[in-house]
Structure 1
Amino acid sequence: MRWFTAFIALFSLNVSVAFNASANTLTLSSQPDTLRQNILSSWQECDENTWCEDELGYYRESYFAQAIVGESALEIELLSEFSAHQLSQLQLNLRSDGFSLQSVEVMEQRFDISQQSSQRSMSEVDEALVRFINRYPQTAPRKLVWYSPLWDAELISDGEIISLRFMSGDYTE
């Protein structure tokens, strides 16, 4: 139901591609508690413990955003229509924010970076990862799991919608 609601919301919004200086901006260098307070004070409550923002800037793009705010956990989800460019930009943005890629799953095939790095050098792992990803079209369903000291992230695409979820704390679905 949550995906359906977000899907409908995406198509009813006029999501601007250019960065809008007046829109809220997601900055992941902030501590989760600071970000939580910003969400509670400036986003719109759309359900119990769920807050929404119609236009949230992350780097140069705008997204529909939803946050689930708990006492010890925070989850922020950014949603947009699929484009190969958007998918690539989000990966570059995650790297810029200090995230490390942990695993990639494409069409139910999984590439675990830590497992591969125990058997190969990092340059060999990078090369194998690129070959793995390039076996599939950009529109193939995929899930990329990322990690940083403050956040875990999941970048999910099904060829129609891109979802980027940031999770901090003890969040369990």
Structure 2
Amino acid sequence: MHGFSVSLLLGSTFIAGLFSSVAYGQNVWWLAMLNNTPLIQFQQKLQQSGDWYQCDSQAGVNAYCLDDFKYYQQHLYGELTLRQDEIHLSFLTDYQAQTLSELILNLRKDGLVLSNMVIEKEQFDVVNALKEESPTQVDKDLIFFINRYPQDAERHLDWRLADEFDSPSPRIKVRLLSDGEMIELKIIRL
């Protein structure tokens, strides 16, 4: 992400009008995850979509796999576990600097904002920084923080929906992990 200068915080705060019909034409379950669809209805959309297939089952937990989730231009392998009160999604792809940058931009397109970032064990807490500085200054400080490290440095980025940014218990938690070899996008939907 070295040299990356696009604003990470001052993204859009709405979701519905931002979805690309190309990216989401077949992924109704993704739209349902990001909007206020109740969890039980979201689970039904997942099961009815036909995209996921059961790949494991353990005591009370069903696991499903998705061989190719096209998230905008990226092709990701997905795993999902259904629990009574939450859903865990994990998407994987090989590391490429451009893929990481595009995933960051696409999360922003979908109405998510960065809440915390750790690169090589150094943390930038966006939530706390915004209590002290303006969003414009925090955005500049965050870009400076990111640019101190090589693109393939180990990092994790925590995201929330913009309208849940200040919520103590957001309904969706997103973590983007990269270690220079793999990229993983983890999502917990409550």
Smaller-chain TM-score bracket: 0.7 to 0.9
Give the share of equivalent positions with the same residue, in percent.
Answer: 30
Is contact 1:45-1:52 (8 Å) kept? Answer: yes
Partner of 1:45: 54
Report 1 or 2 for greater relative contact order, CA contacts < 8 Å, sequence distance ≥ 6. Answer: 2
Partner of 2:81: 68
Q: Does 1:88 align with 2:97?
A: no
Counterpart-to-counterpart distance in 1, 2:44 and 2:135:
39
Q: Gapped runs of 5+ residues in structure 1?
A: 1-18
Counterpart-to-counterpart distance in 1, 2:152 and 2:94:
12
Is contact 1:155-1:164 (8 Å) kept? Answer: yes
What's the CA shift string for 1:74-93, capped at 9, x where partnerless?
A: 11111100011110111111
- Scaled by the length of structure 2, the TM-score of the pair is 0.72
Counterpart-to-counterpart distance in 2, 1:114 and 1:166:
19
What's the CA shift string for 1:118-166, capped at 9, x where partnerless?
A: 1111111111000000100110000000011441100000001000011
Q: Does 1:130 align with 2:143?
A: yes
- The aligned amino acid for 2:82 is V
Counterpart-to-counterpart distance in 1, 2:25 and 2:106:
21
Paired positions, count: 151
- The aligned amino acid for 2:53 is Q
Partner of 1:167: 188
Partner of 1:13: none
**CA pair 20-109 structure 1, distance change in 2 beyond 3 A:** closer
Counterpart secondary structure, 1:118? helix
| Aligned CA-pair RMSD | 2.1
